[in-house]
Every structure is written in C-alpha cells, then in structure tokens.
Chain A
C-alpha cells in the first residue's frame, strides 16, 4: 500500500500572505489533485496534474498556483491569503485506466487566515 502525506497539517497565515502547501505520494500514481473543502460545499477542484510538469486548472484555480516538479510531489500556493479562504485543502492521487481512476486522499491541511 501507499500513502499520501500533506504538510503542514495546520497552516496559519496573515491576510495577503503567500502560503504554500505540499503533498507527497508513494503510490507512483500519474495523476495528482488539489481539492478545497468548505463546510457544506463538498469538494471543489483547484488544480490537477496528469504527469510531471503538467498543470490543469479546476473550477477554483483563481488565486492559486500549483507546481508538479516531480511525479511524487504536488504543491499548492495560495498567492494572497484572504480571510474567506479558511478551509481544508485535500491532496489526492490516482492511477489512470480508461477514463476512471480510484482516488486516494491525504489527511488534509487546514488553513486559517488571521
């Protein structure tokens, strides 16, 4: 089995600050994802990447940057933290077969903006 590790688990920042979340997976999966979870709104896709150095925007990409420099890692940067961005950020990965893929998640990173 494999594991997805997100760091940090808790991130506290100041409004306007640039903040980075990191994700590592040892499944050797091709595709990695960043989702944001707000209370009562389910999961919304920010970015995903189908291979090293690839980036695909999701519905919520504005205000975020992402980087996939290695197959095993995918980072997400909040370019300018806003108070309404207090949420849980979830990293996931999947291997792709056909047009489906079972998704595996990390433990999440909780962002609080002061």
Chain B
C-alpha cells in the first residue's frame, strides 16, 4: 500500500547543530505537509504543500515532486526544537485523509 517513510527515526543534537530530516513517498504526490508535535502536545503545521524550497525562520523545507521526497532542514538547533516531526501526503487513490509517516523524534540538549 501507499507508504510514507521518514528518516532517521530519532536524532540527538547539541544546541547549535544543524539537522536534516527526510521524507520519502511510495507513490507520486502533488502535495504534502510537514508537522511539528511538541512532547505530549498537538500537531502544528510547519509547511503546507511546499514545492521547491521554502523557509520559515530556522526551518527550510525542500520538496522534489518527481523524486517523491521532501526534506526538512533545522539550522542552529535550539532546545525548543525538541519534539517529533511528521510528514504526510494525501492518499493516491482518492479520499481525503492524509497518510502520515512515523515521524522523526528530535532531542536537542543545551
């Protein structure tokens, strides 16, 4: 079935380090979404339907549609970046519910 693969599963950083999170899709896509979930909290949308490169503060999303992949770059990480990052895409064969990856858990220590 349709799958969304995220890597790495977890990441430990020292404050100030950069990180790159990957998301790969098993089917063609025309949109996707990156979310952030703080520990024990709700999901917040970071980037919606990015194509090419988009930046928001220290976060940069790069999506290559025809290669079915997207990456999320965190620059100069801070302890407040700790949490889980998830990517999701719409189902290939119709329907409205996004299909999620299992997430990358990021832990940033001071």
Contacts and interface: CB of A to CB of B under 8 A. Distances in A.
Interface stretch (A11-19, A20-28, A71-79, A105-113): A105-113
Contacts of A42: 86, 100-103
Of the four ranges (under 10, 10 to 19, 20 to 34, 35 or more), the interface on chain B belongs to 20 to 34
Contacts of B35: 103, 105
B27 interface: no
A99 B97 CA distance: 10
The interface residues of chain B, by DSSP majority, are classed as: loop
Contacts of A103: 33, 35, 43, 45, 88, 98
Contacts of A31: 96
Given A40-B102, A42-B102, A102 B48 contact: yes
6 contacts: A42-B102, A43-B86, A56-B95, A96-B96, A103-B98, A105-B44
